[in-house]
Amino acid sequence: MRTVKLDAPIGAEIKNIEIAAGLGDAQYRVIREALDEHSVVILRDQEVSPENQLKLAAGIGTPRPLVYSVYSLPDFPDVMVVSNIKENGKHIGIPDAGSLWHSDGAYLAQPDMYSLLYGIEIPQRDGQPLGDTAFTSTWKAYEALPEDLKARLAGRHCVNSFSWHLQKKAALGQLKRAPQTAEQKSAMPDVEHPVVRRHPHTGRPCLFVCEAHTTQLVGMPKDESDELLEFLCKHIVSERFQYRHRWRKGDLVIWDNCAVQHLAHFDYGDLRRRLNRTGTFGPAPVSY
């Protein structure tokens, strides 16, 4: 195994690794260390069964149950299908995942630590893959803030909301998933998190607001909160902090949800696209 840094602000590829063959503690440690250093890790040309994917998730963390279990694989409730494919008039997977910049589970008391996404069907047009996923660094974005703004954000908290997220997607015409049930809504109340959280492994300060889930900054007048949130959300997704992943069939991409946000590109229309996703529990965010 060797880790090769990508020609981008973040991201690395781990070469000479075969998930299906099974991994040991040393290999899991290499993956975790690469995630701490590079935030996004790519494993190419993999044959990954749902069992393999869950085993890898367990090797680097603790797999967590899915929020939208309606899109789980029948025999693997912790593996979500991400897809625009329909069978018998229904989507086989969640069709609108990632349409706004976000960090997975930011609306939970314990957001996801890692996400693992495996490419099964990747759409192409004229020989070029479609449906890229962009990643942006929340810690590089924080580093680039002026010192007076860092001081202004110190100790500040924000409200993250899943229900508000769905309302926003609906208003933008992006909502395609099954409606949120009353049980889901009661299980996911709005939460408060630090605007700047300390990375649980590296100690780096990471911005933890996003356009998908953050509704307001706590203790700040609405107009001031809206203005500052708009600035921060635009700043975080500056191209100078980004890596854009161009998918190939057999790619397994793992990312750190404290260190990055991500965005899906929906440029493939009705062309078939399918990926399998798992996630791991993370700790409750702690202020930097």
What pLDDT, on a 0 to 100 scale, did the predictor assign at position 46?
98
Query: Could you tell me if 274 and 24 are in contact, meaning their C-beta atoms sit under 8 angstroms apart?
Result: no
What's the rounded Cα separation, in Å, for the pair 30 and 19? 13
Residues 6 or more apart in contact with residue 8 via CB below 8 angstroms: 242, 243, 244
pLDDT value for 120:
98
Give the Å distances, CA to CA, from 224 to 164, 219, 231, 264. Answer: 19, 10, 11, 29
Phi-psi region of 105 (alpha: psi -120 to 50; beta: other; left: phi over 0): left
Q: Is residue 271 part of a domain?
A: yes
Least confident of 22-36, 103-117, 178-192, 237-251: 178-192
Asked if the model's pLDDT at residue 200 lies above 90, the reply is: yes
**With 0-12 CB in 10 A as exposed, 13-18 as middle and 19+ as buried, what is 206?**
buried
Whether the predicted pLDDT of 179 surpasses 80: no
- pLDDT exceeds cutoff 90 at 17: yes
Angle at 135 between CA 84 and CA 269, to 5 degrees: 25
Q: What is the pLDDT of residues 232-245, one digit of tens each?
A: 999 999 999 999 99
Round to whole Å and give the CA distance between 132 and 202. 28
pLDDT for 88-100, tens place per residue?
Answer: 999 999 988 888 9
* Structural domain range at position 119: 2-281
Identity of the residue numbered 16: N
SS3 content of the chain, % helix, strand, coil (to 5): 25, 30, 40
Q: Total domain count for the chain?
A: 1
- Return the higher-pLDDT residue of 207 and 188: 207
30 inside domain? yes
- For residue 186, being part of any structural domain is answered with yes
The per-residue pLDDT for 166 is 80
Is residue 223 left, alpha or beta, with left meaning phi > 0 and alpha meaning psi from -120 to 50? alpha
Q: What is the pLDDT, as a whole number, of residue 275? A: 98
Tell whether 287 is covered by a domain: no
What digits encode the pLDDT tens for the residues 221-231? 999 999 999 99
**Inside any domain, residue 288:** no
- Separation of alpha carbons 181 and 42, rounded Å: 35
Confirm whether 143 is domain-assigned.
Answer: yes
Assign 170 a pLDDT band (cuts: 50, 70, 90). confident
pLDDT for residue 22 is more than 90? yes
Per-residue pLDDT, 260? 98
Q: Cα separation of 42 and 104, whole Å? A: 18
Residue 145 included in any domain? yes
pLDDT of residue 175: 73
Tell me what the pLDDT averaged over the chain comes to.
94
Percent of the chain residues topping a pLDDT of 90 = 85
47-51, 179-183, 248-252 — which is least confidently predicted?
Answer: 179-183
Strands 128-129 and 12-15: unpaired
pLDDT band at 8 (very low <50, low <70, confident <90, very high): very high
Burial of 172 (0-12, 13-18, 19+ CB in 10 A): exposed
- Which one is predicted more confidently, 99 or 194? 194
pTM of the model as a whole:
0.93
Backbone angles phi, psi at 193, to 5 degrees: -135, 160
What pLDDT, on a 0 to 100 scale, did the predictor assign at position 2?
A: 96
pLDDT over 80 at 73, yes or no:
yes
In this structure, what token pair is assigned to residue 269? 């229309």
CATH number at residue 182: 3.60.130.10
Mean pLDDT of 50-73: 92
